[in-house]
């Protein structure tokens, strides 16, 4: 064998190996058209075109205070870290939530406030998820209180007169939540909700 032929042999072997690996990967995972995440695709995150505004890159505002946690991921991540109740996660799965994002802060007086984003996969209705999440707190005796149009705001008052708040509304493919509890929850949640709505207004359900 000539010297040039002996040098070429390893190169040919490497190329053959790469082709084999590529073929094996395609056989194992396919071309992406039928993968395991097909039911979690979100290709239309923007609100309907009829609305006269431009979608913000990030629809969530930053709540005041020190970060308690900030997380983005599939619902299973929030189940693993016990950041949502079993009932909330069951609703998320049943209604087609593909991704969850949360930013929760704690202030010096232990008031806790947060903003959440539940993004629905294609084909799932964010308004169904909105109704189910709101109904969960309704069943827990959280009272519906007047709020801005297209926002469902509930409050539960504890024996010590402190209050817990959960507000939900739809924006495009998302159900957005503003919540909080603690000594100054009423003022802090209302202020945060106002900021959140100014940044990413609620969307009415199509008739």
Q: How many whole angstroms separate alpha carbon 48 and alpha carbon 127?
A: 13
pLDDT confidence tier of residue 57, bands split at 50, 70 and 90: confident
pLDDT at 59 (0 to 100):
96
Is a pLDDT exceeding 80 seen at residue 18?
Answer: no
Structure tokens belonging to residue 171: 């924006």
Is a pLDDT exceeding 70 seen at residue 51?
Answer: no
pLDDT confidence tier of residue 83, bands split at 50, 70 and 90: very high
Contacts of 190 (CB under 8 A, 6+ apart): none
- Cβ pair 117, 176 in contact under 8 A: yes
The rounded Cα 206 to chain-centroid distance in angstroms is 22
pLDDT confidence tier of residue 52, bands split at 50, 70 and 90: very low
pLDDT at 165 (0 to 100):
98
Q: What is the pTM of this model?
A: 0.75
Q: How many whole angstroms separate alpha carbon 100 and alpha carbon 73?
A: 6
Is a pLDDT exceeding 70 seen at residue 39?
Answer: no
Is a pLDDT exceeding 50 seen at residue 34?
Answer: no
pLDDT per residue over 71-80, tens digit each? 999 999 999 9
Helices (H), the chain: 3-29, 75-80, 86-95, 126-139, 185-199
* Sign of the CA dihedral with 32 first, then 38, 42, and 48 last: positive
pLDDT confidence tier of residue 147, bands split at 50, 70 and 90: confident
- The more confident residue out of 34 and 192 is 192
Q: How many whole angstroms separate alpha carbon 154 and alpha carbon 136?
A: 11
Kindly state the percentage of the chain with pLDDT values over 90: 66
Q: How many whole angstroms separate alpha carbon 158 and alpha carbon 166?
A: 14
């Amino acid at each position: 064998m000539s010297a040039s032929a002996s040098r070429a042999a390893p190169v040919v072997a490497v190329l053959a190996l790469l082709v084999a690996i590529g073929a094996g990967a395609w056989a194992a995972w396919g071309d992406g058209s039928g993968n395991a995440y097909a039911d979690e695709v979100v290709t239309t995150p923007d609100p309907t075109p009829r609305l006269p505004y431009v979608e913000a890159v990030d629809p969530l505002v930053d709540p005041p205070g020190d970060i308690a946690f900030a997380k983005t991921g599939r619902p299973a991540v929030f189940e693993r870290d016990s950041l949502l109740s079993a009932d909330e996660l069951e609703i998320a799965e049943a209604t087609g939530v593909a991704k969850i994002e949360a930013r929760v802060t704690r202030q010096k007086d232990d008031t806790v406030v947060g903003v959440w984003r539940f993004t629905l996969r294609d084909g799932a209705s964010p308004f169904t998820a909105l109704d189910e999440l709101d109904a969960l707190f309704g069943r827990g005796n959280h009272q519906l209180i007047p709020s801005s149009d297209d926002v469902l705001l509930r409050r539960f008052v504890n024996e010590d007169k402190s209050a817990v708040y959960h507000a939900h509304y739809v924006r495009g493919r998302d159900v957005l939540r503003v919540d909080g509890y603690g000594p100054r929850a009423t003022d802090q949640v209302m202020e945060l909700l106002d900021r959140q709505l100014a940044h990413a207004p609620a969307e009415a359900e199509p008739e």
